[in-house]
Amino acid sequence: MPNPFSPFDELAAVLLAHTQNLSNDGSHDQSHLLRVWKNVCAIQAKEGGDLRILLAATLLHDCVAVEKNSPLRSRASTLAAEQARHILSNMDWSEQDCEAVGHAVQSHSFSANIQPVSLEARILQDADRLDAIGALGIARCFYTAGRMGSSLYEPKDPQAENRSLDDKRYALDHFPAKLLQLADGFQTKRGQEIARERHARMERFVEEMVGEL
């Protein structure tokens, strides 16, 4: 099986060592990093961008683990960006490249609400958000809800027709509260194309789940 990080195999091995044993969160593990990297490559093939910068940003974008329900959640990408700059500086990367990776890491997060400026930052944000939608996004949503102790849905009003959305308590609420809003915010043309396909899958899922209820 070919190495998915070729021709950056050695760099990937070094950076992945900084992501091990940070969290027991299966939605932000190394398989997540691999999926985001595949998304990055799919977008970069159409949009361009520096793959070395993108690889480092991809593998380090979650290098500081902060739980979804932590009060530090909105600062998670800033903390990860600081750590990424430190790691790469110790590897003798130039200050310019460290900053390029740091900006991409910091601006990838939905919670941080930081506008990505560089092409690489826009690509990483799109690639990471693609993993939050579609079939994989559905799986990750319910996995995370289980870890956080949330219910599947509010039994009396599952579609929140007569109540406020509360996605901290109900997994189904997370779709209108966040996931079904993500497709409108993609930064690249290729990212937008893939996002529309995955968005449609989520809409079908929600419709079918509500139909079964």
Mean pLDDT, all residues of the chain = 92
- Residue 126 within a domain: no
- Tens digits of per-residue pLDDT, 97-122? 999 999 999 999 877 788 999 999 99
Question: Are 159 and 210 within 8 A, CB to CB?
Answer: yes
**What's the CATH code of the domain at 204?**
1.20.58.1910
| Domain identity same for 104 and 13 | yes
Task: Indicate whether 143 and 67 sit together in one domain.
Answer: no
**In which band, very low, low, confident or very high, does the pLDDT at 73 lie, cut at 50, 70 and 90?**
low
Q: Using 50, 70 and 90 to split pLDDT, how confident is the model at 6? A: confident
CATH of the domain at 72: 1.10.3210.50
Burial code (b: 16+ CB inside 10 Å, e: under 16) for 87-100 equals: bbeeeebeeebbeb
Structural domain includes residue 125: no
| Whether the predicted pLDDT of 177 surpasses 90 | yes
Is residue 207 in a domain?
Answer: yes
Torsion of CA 23, 106, 80, 105, to 10 degrees: 80
The residues pairing with 170 across neighbouring beta strands, listed in sequence order, are: 151
Range of the domain at 167: 132-213
Q: How many separate domains does the chain show?
A: 2
DSSP string, 37-73: HHHHHHHHHHH---HHHHHHHHHHTT-S---TTSTTG
Residues 6+ apart with CB under 8 A from 181: none
